[in-house]
């Protein structure tokens, strides 16, 4: 089966564009190939491979193995950002594999996350949006009430942070509306506010950053260590619990995490 997926979004602040066509065939083992001449740069090829493998991981075991061939792709140097090729490849592969469409297409591959960070070095963190759980007009402090967070860097689309076990998944997505949970309270989606940790770094410029690997079986991002001007912030997840700190990783968590090399501005 051959399927094409595309992203074409434009606002007065940012643009997203990518188009990928995949073909799925039965195979003796799951694999991903990219046709000659398609996606010539290493970063885009990596995103396509990771996106296809993300779809393959959701195929039920009783359906056997498949090969996902990326047979065509269109990107631009200006309009295609980190995460765009990953998302359209994952969506095309899911459809070709007859999987339910996924509203959330997050990436945690350390190399892709590093590329996302590199694309934002030197940019201002213009805002942070948070989804938090409230009940009876009250909410727990910082990490305990946090559901999702979105980082808004200047001239780049917002990125949703999603804690999933020991993986921090990033998805290029705008904040969703808040919603009611009846007797279980509500989720409110608003700008981060003092004294919560992420509110403290809004308006600062990202100068350095590093990916944090977690204890997952395969290499996966568990957190981000960000230096924004004179403030350092840790954002991550461990055991399905958020970790937020205006500093480097807390000492009790450090043994489970592995800090990767710092990414700095060239």
**pLDDT 10s per residue in the chain (266 long)?**
899 999 999 999 999 999 999 999 999 999 999 999 999 899 999 999 999 999 999 999 999 999 999 999 999 999 999 999 999 999 999 999 999 887 678 999 999 999 999 999 999 999 999 999 999 888 888 889 999 999 999 999 999 999 999 999 999 999 999 999 888 899 999 999 988 999 999 999 999 999 999 987 788 999 999 999 999 999 999 999 999 999 888 889 888 999 999 998 76
Are 159 and 116 within 8 A, CB to CB?
yes
99 Cβ partners below 8 Å, 6+ apart?
Answer: 55, 58, 59
In the chain, DSSP finds a helix count (H) and a strand count (E) of 4, 16
Are 211 and 167 within 8 A, CB to CB?
no
Query: What was the pLDDT predicted at 65?
Result: 95
Euclidean distance between CA atoms 168 and 240, whole angstroms: 10
Long-range contacts of 215-220 (CB under 8 A, 24+ apart): 215/166, 215/256, 216/165, 216/166, 216/167, 219/109, 219/110, 220/108, 220/109, 220/110, 220/166, 220/167
Enter the tokens of residue 126: 């213009």
Identify the CA nearest to 128 among candidates 103, 148, 155, 107: 148
Give ∠ CA 42-44-45 in degrees, rounded to 5: 65
41 Cβ partners below 8 Å, 6+ apart?
Answer: none
pTM: 0.93
What sections of the chain are H helices per DSSP?
42-56, 84-96, 110-120, 142-145
Query: What was the pLDDT predicted at 103?
Result: 66
Residues forming a β-bridge with 233: 226
Task: Assign 3-state DSSP to the chain and report helix, strand, coil percentages, each to 5.
Answer: 20, 40, 35
């Amino acid at each position: 089966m051959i399927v094409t997926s595309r992203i074409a979004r434009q606002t007065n602040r940012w643009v997203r564009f990518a188009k990928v066509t995949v073909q799925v065939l039965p195979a003796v083992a799951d694999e991903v190939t990219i046709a000659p001449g398609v996606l010539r740069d290493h970063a885009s090829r990596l995103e396509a491979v990771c996106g296809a493998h993300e779809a393959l991981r959701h195929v039920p075991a009783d359906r056997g193995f498949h090969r996902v061939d990326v047979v065509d792709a269109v990107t631009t140097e200006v309009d295609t950002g980190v995460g765009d090729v990953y998302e359209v490849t994952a969506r095309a592969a899911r459809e070709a594999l007859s999987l339910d469409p996924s509203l959330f297409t997050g990436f945690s591959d350390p190399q892709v996350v590093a590329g996302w960070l590199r694309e934002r070095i030197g940019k201002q963190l213009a805002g942070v949006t948070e989804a938090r759980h409230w009940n009876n007009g009250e909410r727990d402090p910082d990490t305990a009430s946090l559901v999702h967070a979105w980082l808004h860097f200047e001239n780049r689309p917002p990125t949703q942070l999603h804690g999933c076990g020991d993986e921090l998944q990033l998805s290029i997505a705008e904040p969703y509306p808040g919603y009611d949970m009846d007797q279980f309270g509500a989720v409110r989606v608003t700008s981060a506010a003092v004294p919560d940790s992420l509110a403290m770094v809004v308006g600062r410029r990202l100068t350095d950053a590093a990916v944090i690997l977690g204890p997952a079986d395969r290499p996966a991002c568990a957190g981000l260590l960000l230096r924004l001007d004179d403030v350092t912030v840790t954002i991550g997840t461990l055991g399905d619990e958020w970790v937020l700190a205006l500093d480097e990783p807390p000492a009790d968590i450090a043994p489970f995490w592995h800090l990767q090399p710092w990414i700095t501005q060239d």
